[in-house]
């Protein structure tokens, strides 16, 4: 009997091949679109997290209130002990000190006179300590366009665009003109050792990256840090986790009214990232569910039509003495087989295309010029575990439910009536 | 014992707000080995009666006892069992499974009976021999002529050697030569295997072969006559 049904399934293309193709296409689109949205939206968040917001950020209350100005006069003063207590309290989070600073980069000519000047977005990161994870976090080796990484104190990396604008090349010495923690002017010389391009317009305009110890010297911020960033385990932002940690931390320091008391903010609690995170979640949710729903409807209909078409065959089988329950069950089993095969093929193809987009990406830098927010200039998909089973919803569930509904007719109708439809 | 015992049978179908009476107070017995036809114009209730005898439908009133089973009282399982074990159907439009071979179509009723493969093979080959289609075993219905399709349907109905075969307008889609061909085949099977055949028809060719004619008119039996042997011999 099983052999008989399998033969029927294989030979009747409108019963096997067609529905499998329809299911596979639907599932493929669902999986691909989901990975794509996730990738684009997630990359944007990750980019902002790594370069400026962290998944979590600890600052002084005063600094937090004026975060957009990076007021280093309100920096965290004993950053080393804060860092070690954070590492103790939240060992699963990677904590790193950062100093963000503004300033003017001055490129002198051979006589020491100013040849070119430009505003810099400075970033002091832990480059040289043996335990540093920052170089990798900011993807600096891969972003290097010319020259080499920072290996000694007094060295700096500069964004490639900025370097071109200033006319500096690796080996040149530039002067950073900024202000110290106490408000007086500071001048500090750096040797440019390499140029970088991160692939994010907002960064590539004027980034200057130095070791945090150098930044501390330059800005007179001994043992201070503007911010301590925290990165969650697993490398991806989870709003729930981040908010929970921030809440717990802030409860400990709630009673201090000092401007210098530390506060912790999740990425979503910083600036307009919150609305972006919720926008992202909403849109990922909406687009994915619309898609899953639409595909589910299409596939459900395909299941329904495919089964209705076969009432005649069912009538014959019932007339031969097959039981209704058996006819119904075989219909469902068939749709499970179709759904599983279709969903498997569709998921495989969808993941394949998503993987292509994850590895190669699509360059959209042209569209990103002048963007204020840090957005990736390369659209990439991101395959998440969900993508391995997301396709089952439209693929398997709807196909089977469609068949189930259609199959109800087998029970409802008098067998004689199934024939009427057959004779017609 | 009679093969079929119909007592005061009526069948009504819901229609609009009221009901439509398709069969009125039918009384009828059919014995083993008969070659009998329900004859009447279109809409006279032939198919309705045949469906009830085949346990594809149930009476509204009265009783239809087929092989000792009261059709209206059977559960779905029991009526499936009756069809599976004792009834064969032949339809006007053949109703073969299009993607399955002739062999597989004929084998299907034996699969339902869960017979062993060797036995199935022998029975299928016998049935194909009866209808003269041994060489078409591997063909599929779309490759066959109408006459050949109906012969496959006869083989399918006969393969399990049922007590009763119900044939609803079996010649309606066939030309004269093919009609006579299948009627002769069925006549021979009736004679050799003592299978009871009940036809529903208004085709003169079929009527010519019948040994008993039950005339239906507007859902009632109008006439029930047994044909004398001399008459059949003459035709
Ligand atoms: N399922 C049904 N619902 C309503 N009316 C039906 C149904 N089946 C048959 N009828 C009606 O019953 C009458 C007899 O039909 P049928 O037995 O098919 O006639 P025949 O086979 O003699 O042409 C017809 O008038 C037909 O319209
Ligand atoms: Mg009819």
* Cβ A75 vs Cβ A221: under 8 Å: yes
- The CA-based angle A195-A201-A204, given to 5 degrees, is 20
CB contact under 8 A, A319 and B80: no
Q: Are B35 and B209 in contact (CB under 8 A)?
A: yes
| Residue B62's pLDDT band (cuts 50, 70, 90) | very high
Q: Give the nearest partner residue to A322 out of B80, B85, B99, using CB atoms.
A: B80
Inform me whether the C-beta atom of residue B54 falls under 8 Å from chain A C-beta atoms.
yes
Cβ-count burial of A253 within 10 angstroms (0-12 exposed, 13-18 middle, 19+ buried)?
middle
Closest to A392 in 3D by CA, of A352, A350, A347: A347
A4:B85 CB<8 A: no
Structure tokens at A63: 């600094």
How confident is the model over B91-137, as pLDDT tens digits? 998 999 999 999 999 999 999 999 999 999 999 999 999 999 999 99
Q: Which of A201, A359, A371 is nearest to A276 (CA)?
A: A371
Burial of B184 (0-12, 13-18, 19+ CB in 10 A): exposed
The pLDDT score that the predictor gives to residue A424 is 40
How far is ligand 1, taken at its centre, from the CA of residue B43, in Å?
A: 6
The reported pLDDT for the residue numbered A112 is: 80
Q: Best of B11, B22, B91 to mutate for ligand 1, by most ligand atoms within 8 A of CB?
A: B22
- Are A146 and A206 in contact, with CB atoms under 8 Å apart? no
The residue in chain A having the minimum alpha-carbon distance to the alpha carbon of residue B112 is A322
Residues of A in contact with B77 (CB under 8 A): 323
Q: What is the pLDDT of residue A416?
A: 63
Instruction: Give pTM, 2 decimals.
Output: 0.73
Q: Which residue has its alpha carbon closest to ligand 1 atom 26?
A: B43
What's the CA-to-centroid distance between B192 and ligand 1, angstroms? 34
Interchain proximity A423–B51, CB inside 8 Å? no
The predicted structure's pLDDT at residue B80 = 94
B97 touches chain A (CB under 8 A): yes
Residues A169 and A178 sit within 8 Å (Cβ to Cβ): no
> What is the structure's pLDDT at A11?
87
Lookup: tokens for A94: 């990677």
Output Rg (C-alpha) for chain A, integer angstroms: 30
Identify the H or E element spanning A412: helix A399-412
CATH at residue B54: 3.40.50.300
Pocket of ligand 1 (CB under 6 A): A 417; B 13, 15, 20, 22, 40, 42-48, 200
CB contact under 8 A, A4 and B108: yes
Q: Which atom of ligand 1 is nearest to the CA of A417?
A: 1
Averages of pLDDT over runs of 10 residues in chain A (424 residues) are 86 84 88 85 83 93 88 90 93 94 90 88 90 86 90 94 93 92 89 89 87 93 93 85 93 83 92 82 80 79 78 87 92 91 94 90 67 65 85 84 82 66 47
Cross-chain Cβ contact A416/B57 below 8 Å: yes
Q: What is the pLDDT of residue A414?
A: 66
Q: For residue range B176-219, what is the model confidence (pLDDT) as tens digits?
A: 999 999 999 999 999 999 999 999 999 999 999 999 999 999 99
Chain A partners of B89 at a C-beta cutoff of 8 Å? 319-320
Residues of B in contact with A422 (CB under 8 A): 93, 95
- Its ipTM equals 0.91
Domain ranges for chain A: 2-47+276-420, 56-231
Query: Which among A8, A320, A324 is the nearest to B76, CB-wise?
Result: A324
Q: How far is CA A57 from CA A66, A137, A168, A226, in A?
A: 14, 16, 33, 10
Under a CB-based contact definition with an 8 Å cutoff, are residues A301 and A402 in contact? yes
Residue A98 · residue A225 · CB < 8 Å: yes
Distances (CA, A) of A98 to A75, A79, A95, A141: 10, 10, 10, 19
- Kindly give, in sequence order, each residue whose CB lies less than 8 Å from that of residue A247, ignoring residues fewer than 6 positions away: none
Which residues in chain A have their CB less than 8 angstroms from residue B95's CB? 312, 315-316, 319, 422
């Amino acid at each position: 009997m099983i052999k008989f049904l399998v033969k029927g399934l294989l030979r009747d293309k409108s019963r096997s091949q067609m529905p499998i193709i329809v299911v596979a296409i639907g599932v493929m689109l669902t999986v691909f679109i989901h990975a794509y949205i996730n990738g684009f939206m997630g990359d944007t968040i990750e980019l902002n997290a790594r370069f400026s917001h962290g998944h979590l950020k600890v600052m002084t209350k005063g600094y937090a209130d004026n975060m957009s100005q990076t007021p280093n006069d309100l920096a965290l003063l004993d950053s080393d002990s804060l860092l070690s207590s954070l590492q103790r309290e939240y060992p699963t989070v990677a904590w790193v000190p950062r100093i963000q600073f503004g300033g003017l980069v001055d490129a002198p000519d051979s006589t020491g006179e100013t040849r070119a000047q430009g505003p810099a977005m400075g970033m002091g990161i832990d480059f040289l300590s043996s335990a540093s994870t920052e170089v990798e976090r900011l993807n600096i080796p891969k972003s290097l366009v010319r020259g080499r990484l920072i290996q000694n104190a007094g060295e700096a990396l500069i964004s490639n665009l900025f370097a071109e604008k200033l006319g500096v090349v690796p080996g040149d010495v530039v002067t950073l003109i900024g202000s110290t923690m106490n408000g007086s002017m500071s001048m500090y010389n750096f040797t440019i050792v390499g140029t970088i391009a991160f692939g994010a317009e907002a960064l590539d305009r004027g980034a200057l990256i130095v070791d945090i110890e150098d930044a501390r010297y330059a800005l007179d911020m001994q043992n201070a840090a503007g911010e301590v960033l925290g990165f969650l385990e697993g490398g991806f932002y989870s709003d729930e986790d981040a908010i929970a940690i921030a809440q717990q931390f802030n409860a400990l320091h709630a009673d201090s009214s000092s401007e210098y008391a530390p506060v912790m903010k999740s990425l979503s609690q910083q600036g307009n990232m919150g609305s972006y995170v919720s926008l992202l979640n909403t849109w990922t949710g909406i687009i994915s569910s619309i898609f899953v729903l639409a595909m589910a409807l299409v596939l459900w209909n395909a299941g329904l039509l495919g089964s209705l078409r076969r009432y005649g065959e069912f009538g014959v089988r019932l007339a031969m003495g097959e039981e209704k329950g058996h006819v119904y069950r075989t219909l469902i089993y068939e749709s499970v087989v179709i759904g599983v095969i279709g969903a498997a093929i569709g998921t495989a193809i969808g993941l394949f295309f998503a993987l292509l987009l994850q590895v190669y990406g699509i360059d959209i830098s042209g569209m990103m010029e002048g963007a204020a927010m840090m957005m990736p200039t390369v659209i990439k998909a991101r395959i998440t575990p969900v993508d391995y089973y997301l396709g089952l919803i439209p693929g398997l569930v709807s196909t089977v439910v469609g068949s189930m509904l259609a199959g109800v007719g087998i029970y409802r109708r008098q067998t004689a009536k199934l024939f009427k439809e057959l004779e017609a | 014992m009679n093969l079929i015992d119909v007592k005061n049978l009526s069948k009504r179908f819901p229609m609009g707000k009221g009901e439509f009476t398709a069969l009125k107070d039918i009384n009828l017995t059919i014995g083993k080995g008969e070659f009998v036809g329900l004859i009447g114009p279109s809409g006279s209730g032939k198919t309705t009666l045949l469906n009830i005898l085949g346990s594809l439908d149930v009476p509204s009133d009265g009783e239809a006892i087929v092989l000792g089973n009261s059709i209206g009282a059977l559960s779905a399982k029991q009526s499936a069992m009756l069809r599976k074990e004792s009834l064969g159907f032949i339809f006007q439009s053949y109703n073969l499974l299009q993607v399955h071979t002739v062999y597989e179509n004929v084998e299907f009723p034996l699969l339902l009976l869960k017979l062993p493969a060797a036995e199935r093979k022998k029975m299928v080959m016998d049935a194909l021999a009866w209808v003269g289609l041994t060489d078409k075993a591997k063909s599929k219905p779309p490759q066959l002529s109408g006459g050949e399709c109906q012969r496959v349907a006869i083989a399918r109905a006969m393969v399990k050697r049922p007590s009763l075969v119900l044939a609803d307008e079996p010649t309606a889609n066939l030309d004269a030569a093919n009609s006579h061909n299948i009627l002769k085949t069925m006549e021979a099977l009736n004679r050799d295997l003592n299978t009871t055949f009940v036809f529903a028809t208004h085709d003169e060719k079929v009527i010519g072969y019948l040994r008993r004619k039950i005339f239906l008119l507007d859902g009632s039996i109008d006439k029930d006559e047994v044909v004398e042997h001399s008459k059949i011999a003459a035709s």
